[in-house]
Chain A
């Protein structure tokens, strides 16, 4: 059940506030990822506040839409949105990555309300999501399964095993969202000391999904209205699986993090933290 639908501007603000929470959680835990969560958060906010048919007070409701964060290292982004959507208290975000916490470094379906599949070993969540989609068809259930992958994650062989099988079964109840931020953790050396090269150049990645028989849509993953429209289009496709290649910026939202691979996973210094809070418009800037 969706609550009163937030507007596009309200979702943008949810994402902005989520970015603040994410950095607070990472700074507090002294560990975690930032770059990937920031490239994904506009889409996660849109999915959880406008797309997914879920019940925060009944996380295991059998007919809910499913969401699998296959790029599981962005867990803090998912946790933050789940908390904002009401799956658990916002205060719990402060336990991220600590002992006995339900909010582990990578998503654990056995303990966190709202997590539909464990992930963290890249590529595996995608297979799990495909199994959910094929299982749903077998059981005659008509919910939709969404799965988000990183572009670096698409290096994994298992992704292409699954892409092939999904096409073979014409799975049209699954939407894969590829967060193409053109950076992975370390990747390939470029011409300058700090440049790290993209795993897939130009439309190479979109082309691969097409070659595997997927219906491919492309969108700016930070344009909430455009993303929403693209998801609607994806759901309307029948007879083949759909991949949305979302063009994003790693570290999006904080000037010095954008397109900087070192922010894949990094704990901000006090100074960096303060700048980020200011840029993100945190009214209580500097409070960690």
Chain B
């Protein structure tokens, strides 16, 4: 098994890319909730200080002000930790951004289990469920720096609100430079015949590594990365599921209502098959080193491989 090349953190790719896009797009403005050095909007501030607005630690207000700016044709990119965007400012998003379908881009950095030794207050892994349930909201979780860079122009061009789910740690590189991102499209990472695994965000990298390990054991995984959780690529999901008639979902997110929920709902309606949901169980997180957390909460590459083995085994039994 060849391991993937190391890459930058998604948030770094995000910060660099929006600064670059703003060179040619005067509509872009950034609102920061006092976290720009973490979520990396500092790249944008350094290059475009006149379009960077420090809102302080006022998340509800910040999302509301972004809505006001959007009514004038600006495209506000609002960035702070995912937990504070999604839960602290939920009502602002719902009433002022999603209902009027305003063109505001919500960048939740530090989503998932890994938020740099911060503990459960800062960890959010029900954000996909929450944002997916909101009408008019598009939800995107890229896997690596390349996909993040490719997704951003599409997100900016997309009319209406988008929740971009980013993660904190550095991520290995999964995609080539010529990868083409399209909102609403799933991507096959590996063809296989024993089980179809759907994954999203950084978990797709772990699922990819797991699939390579499993191939050496004779388990042939069909792996589909789903960067857009909403709207879901229903056709691709149904046809991939039909290839194996055994499905596992895998995400750095609760199994309640996230990618697993979305896929289970879709397949129940369109192509009922066994769907095993792999991800965080019904828990809150804790502080600790990234690798230890992934192990403990069962979503490391090896734990992911184990989940696939178990799913295949129990299906055959």
For the complex, what is the distance from the CA of A62 to the CA of B209, rounded to whole Å?
Answer: 53
CB within 8 Å of A: which of B121-174? none
B99 at the interface (CB under 8 A from A): yes
Smallest CB–CB gap between B28 and chain A, Å? 11
Task: Compute how far the CA of A223 lies from the CA of B96 in the bound complex, rounded to whole angstroms.
Answer: 33
B103 nearest CB across to chain A (Å):
12
Contact call A134/B65, Cβ cutoff below 8 A: yes
Complex formed: what's the CA distance from A139 to B54 in Å?
17
The residues of B that contact A117 with a CB separation of less than 8 Å are: 67-68, 71, 96
**Alpha-carbon distance A138/B31, docked complex (angstroms):** 13
User: Are A121's CB and B61's CB within 8 A?
Assistant: no
- Given the known inter-chain contacts A132-B71, A138-B51, please indicate yes or no for A165 contacting B61, CB distance below 8 A: yes
Report B59-104 residues with CB < 8 Å from chain A CB: 60-74, 76, 91-92, 95-96, 99-101
Q: Which chain B residues lie closer than 8 Å to A162 at the CB level?
A: 58, 61, 64-65
Assess the B101–A110 pair: CB atoms within 8 A. yes
Cα-based distance from A129 to B29 in the complex (angstroms)? 17
Take A118-B95, A118-B100, A128-B65 as given contacts and tell me if A161 and B72 are in contact as well, using a CB distance cutoff of 8 Å.
Answer: no
CB < 8 Å neighbour of B64 from A120, A126, A133, A169: A126
Which A-chain residue is minimally distant from B99 (CB atoms)?
Answer: A118
Q: Tell whether, in the assembled complex, residue B60 and residue A127 are in contact, meaning their CB atoms are under 8 Å apart.
A: yes
Given contacts A135-B69, A158-B60, contact A127 B74 (CB under 8 A): no
In the assembled complex, the Cα of A186 lies from the Cα of B61 at a distance in Å of 25
Set of chain A residues within 8 Å of B91, measured between Cβ atoms: 121, 124
Which chain A residues lie closer than 8 Å to B62 at the CB level?
A: 127, 161
- CB–CB B71/A127 < 8 A: no
As a 0/1 sequence over residues 96 to 114 of chain B, the CB contacts with chain A under 8 angstroms (1 = contact) are 1001110000000000000
Q: Is the CB of B72 within 8 A of A136?
A: yes
Q: Is the CB of A161 within 8 A of B96?
A: no
Secondary structure of the A contact surface, majority rule: helix
Contact A127 B95 (CB under 8 A): no
- Tell whether A258 is near chain B: CB-to-CB under 8 Å: no
Q: Does B297 contact A (CB under 8 A)?
A: no
B102 CB → nearest A CB, Å? 9
A131 lies within 8 A of chain B by Cβ: yes
Minimum distance in angstroms from B212 CB to a CB of chain A? 47
Contacts of A129 in B (CB 8 A): 68
Asked if B64 and A130 make an inter-chain contact with CB atoms under 8 angstroms apart, the answer reads yes
Is A202 close to B, CB under 8 A?
A: no
Q: Which residues of B contact A132 (CB under 8 A)?
A: 68-69, 71-72
* A124–B92 alpha-carbon span in the complex (Å): 6
A141 contacts B72, CB within 8 Å? yes
* Shortest beta-carbon distance from B35 to chain A in Å: 15
Number of interface residues of B (CB under 8 A): 31
CB proximity of A174 to chain B, nearest CB, Å: 10
Residues of A close to B100: CB separation below 8 A: 108-110, 118
CB distance from B64 to the nearest CB of A (A): 2
Q: A116-B71, A141-B72 are in contact. Are A127 and B92 (CB under 8 A)?
A: yes
Known contacts A110-B101, A161-B58, A162-B58, A124 near B69 by CB under 8 Å? no
Instruction: Give the residues in chain B near A130, CB-CB below 8 Å.
Output: 61, 64-65, 68
Q: Quick check: is A235 within 8 A (CB to CB) of the other chain?
A: no
In the complex, A127 Cα to B65 Cα: how many Å?
5
Question: Which chain A positions have C-beta within 8 A of B71?
Answer: 109, 116-117, 128, 131-132, 135
The distance from the CB of A116 to the nearest CB of chain B, in whole angstroms, is: 7
Given contacts A157-B60, A162-B58, contact A138 B69 (CB under 8 A): yes
Asked if A168 lies at the interface with its beta carbon under 8 angstroms from chain B, I say: yes
The answer to whether A127 touches B29 (Cβ under 8 A) is: no
Cβ–Cβ contact A127 & B56, under 8 A: no
Q: Taking each of B50, B66, B70, B72, which has the highest tally of chain A beta carbons within 10 Å of its own beta carbon? A: B72
| Interface residue ranges of A75-106 to B (CB < 8 Å) | none
Give bound CA distance, A134 to B64, whole Å: 12
Q: Which residues of A contact B70 (CB under 8 A)?
A: 131, 135
Q: Within the complex, which residue of B58, B64, B74, B101 is in contact with A124, where a contact is CB–CB below 8 Å? A: B64
Which residues on the A side are within 8 Å of B76 (C-beta)? 131
Contact with B along A25-46 (1 / 0, CB 8 A): 0000000000000000000000
Q: Give the contacting residue for A131; candidates B50, B67, B101; CB below 8 A.
A: B67
Q: How far is it, in angstroms, between the C-alpha of A196 and the C-alpha of B301 when the chains are bound?
A: 61
**Chain A residues whose C-beta falls within 8 Å of the C-beta of B58 in the assembled complex:** 158, 161-162, 164-165
> Once the chains bind, are A118 and B74 in contact (CB under 8 Å)?
no
> What are 9 A-B residue pairs whose CB atoms fall within 8 Å in the complex?
A109-B71, A117-B68, A117-B96, A120-B95, A121-B91, A127-B63, A128-B71, A158-B60, A169-B53
4 smallest beta-carbon distances between A and B, as pairs: A131-B68, A127-B64, A131-B65, A161-B58
- Add 13 more A-B contacts to A131-B76, A132-B71, A162-B64 (CB < 8 A): A108-B99, A109-B71, A109-B100, A117-B68, A121-B91, A127-B65, A128-B64, A130-B64, A131-B67, A134-B53, A134-B68, A161-B56, A165-B55
